[in-house]
Amino acid sequence: MIKKFFKLSILLFIVSCGNDTKAEPEIIQPKKEKIIKEFGFILNNYEVKKDTIDRGDSFGLILEKNELYYPKIFNIVNEVKKVFDIRRVNVGRPYTILYSKDSIRKPEYFIYQPSSIDYLVVSLGDSIYAEKKQKEVKLVKYEASGVIKSSLSETMQELGLSPLITNELSEIYAWNIDFFRLEKGDNFKILYSSKFIDDSIYIGLNRVHNSYFEHRGKPFYAIEYETDSIRGITEYFDENGKNLRRAFLLSPVQFSRISSRYNLRRKIAYYGRVKPHYGTDFAAPVGTDIRATASGRVEKSGYTRANGYYIKIKHNATYSTQYLHMRKKGLKVGTQVKQGDKIGEVGMTGYTSGPHVCYRFWKNGKQVDPLKQKLPEAKPISEELRSKYLAYMEPIKYKLDNIDSNLNFE
């Protein structure tokens, strides 16, 4: 019995000795420093100071406050003037100064940001130079849809979408839809892109690329398509290749309402009696831009007691338009204008009871109602591009048609 116990003790000793191994020491890897890049520099290599332009600051004063002195400041200013107007440093805009990390702590670069995208780099060392650069802009595509309850702008606000989308849609459909006369139940679907810098900082809408708008039960497709790659011309066409552009815009003022129509038997409040009203009045706040509804040449520009300041544009041998009650004197006679160009501002000059532009429309020398005219259309897509366009359009139309009616990805 003692012999067996002795053997068992030896065996346990051997086993325990076999397990008595020293643990390897844990090697702790040093944490890698996160590399921070901005403005084309690795900021880890510098001591970084970020600040904003204060009231009363000048470019020279900022340099002086950051350990640079004359005559070097004078040399730096002269170099910067070659690429940037230093008088345009605006209060509140950010700037960055990069210092050396040695014991001298010498300022090496000055970086000013006049906008979210643009920035100016100034080398402050022995080799002085200045150059304008831009941050890389990343475009992200989105889909969205909505149903009109009151106005397009209010619908966009409810969906959390940029108000710039409202402006884009009003431009795209300027020849087809009066956005001040939308009806409850009208709906839209859009494909658009937004701009980002530094991977995740939103800086605004890029553009609406394609859209579907149903107004009074009628569908309006707008497909973006490049018709001239050399000149970079992009236009919008419908599902049949028909250009959305027309010879005339529906309205000379964006987001205005018609306060008075063309009416030969209208009782005019200002005069207190029945008098023909040969124009269409678009009510809008004083100062609102007035646009040329078509391209042409300014034929008349002046002032009368009744019309106030006005402009008349001759578009061709058939059509002319006139814009009354402008805020101030408009363009000079002989000025060439393009469709959509600003030609003046809404005012209250002349005989008027409120701010508006009276829009008058001539056809063959006779004033007519612009809203009842069958106006000439723009040329459709060329036959040589038509088949390419239709093939390009089909998958986009399919995508628009299948956007969820309650979708908003942004």
pLDDT at position 407 is 54
CATH class in words for 38-134: alpha beta
Pairs from 222-227 (Cβ < 8 Å, separation ≥ 24): 222/172, 222/173, 223/389, 223/392, 223/393, 223/396, 223/397, 225/381, 225/389, 225/392, 225/393, 227/381, 227/382, 227/385
**Cis amide linkage into residue 30, ω under 30° from 0:** no
- Helix (H) / strand (E) element for 57: namely none
The 3-state DSSP class for residue 164 equals helix
Using 70 as the pLDDT threshold, list the residues of the chain that sit under it: 1-30, 256-257, 259-276, 406-410
- Output the CA torsion 142→148→149→151 (10° steps): 100
Helix, strand, coil percentages in the chain from 3-state DSSP, rounded to 5:
20, 35, 45
* Contact between residue 252 and residue 330 where contact means Cβ atoms under 8 Å apart: no
CATH fold of the domain at 136-246+377-410: Nuclear Transport Factor 2; Chain: A, (3.10.450)
Backbone φ, ψ for residue 18 (5° rounding): -70, -30
pTM tops 0.85, yes or no = no
Domains of the chain by residue range: 38-134, 136-246+377-410, 257-372
List the structure tokens of 255: 């987001």
Taking each helix axis as running N to C, give the angle between helix 163-172 and helix 152-159, from 0 to 180 degrees, rounded to the nearest 10: 140
DSSP 8-state secondary structure symbol assigned to residue 408: B
> Which structure tokens are listed for 76?
């730096």
Tell the residue number behind the tokens 């702590």, with chain if given.
105
Pick one of 3.40.50.740, 3.30.420.40, 3.40.50.720, 2.70.70.10 as the CATH number of 257-372: 2.70.70.10
Q: Are 313 and 298 in contact (CB under 8 A)?
A: yes
DSSP state of 150: S
Tokens representing 256 are 């205005």
**38-134 shares its CATH topology with 136-246+377-410:** yes
CA 16 to chain centre: 77
List phi, psi (to 5°) of 168: -60, -45
Provide the β-strand partners of residue 147: 187
Token pair 């809404």 is found at 346
121 pairs with which residues across the strands? 111, 131
